[in-house]
Amino acid sequence: AQTVTQSQPEMSVQEAETVTLSCTYDTSENNYYLFWYKQPPSRQMILVIRQEAYKQQNATENRFSVNFQKAAKSFSLKISDSQLGDTAMYFCAFMKTSWGNYGQNFVFGPGTRLSVLP
């Protein structure tokens, strides 16, 4: 079974600074996807970024980028130029690619609560 670990329950960063959130996972699969989701105080889950395991290039979405280290099973999220609106819970998620059964393939980490300070 896959597991996802986020070792930082809480973090804080000054506005305009850069912060990195850690995520490690355990799997024997070779083909999978990784995601970062954001849950602001409204509690709406929002997809931040995704990474296909077969791609060596790290995904980037505006101020958000990942450092994907497949051999180390590490998938960290870097937020540049932090903004007050980035304050949220951030969840790392793993999805096994299985064409036969794509129902129960998502595993979420416990989350990291990020506070952006003015």
Partner 1 sequence: DGGITQSPKYLFRKEGQNVTLSCEQNLNHDAMYWYRQDPGQGLRLIYYSQIVNDFQKGDIAEGYSVSREKKESFPLTVTSAQKNPTAFYLCASRQGRETHEQYFGPGTRLTVT
Enumerate binding residues for partner 1 (CB under 8 A): 9, 33, 35, 37, 42-47, 50, 91, 95, 97, 99, 101-104, 106, 108-111
For partner 1, the closer of residues 17 and 85 by Cβ is 85
Write down the least CB distance from residue 50 to partner 1, Å: 6
For partner 1, the closer of residues 28 and 99 by Cβ is 99
Other Cβ atoms within 10 Å of 97 Cβ, number? 14
Strands 64-69 and 74-79 come out as antiparallel
For partner 1, the closer of residues 5 and 18 by Cβ is 5
Q: In the beta sheet, which residues pair with residue 114? A: 11, 88
Write down the least CB distance from residue 39 to partner 1, Å: 9
Residues 21/6, Cβ–Cβ less than 8 Å: yes
102: left (phi over 0), alpha (psi -120 to 50) or beta: alpha
Write down the least CB distance from residue 21 to partner 1, Å: 14
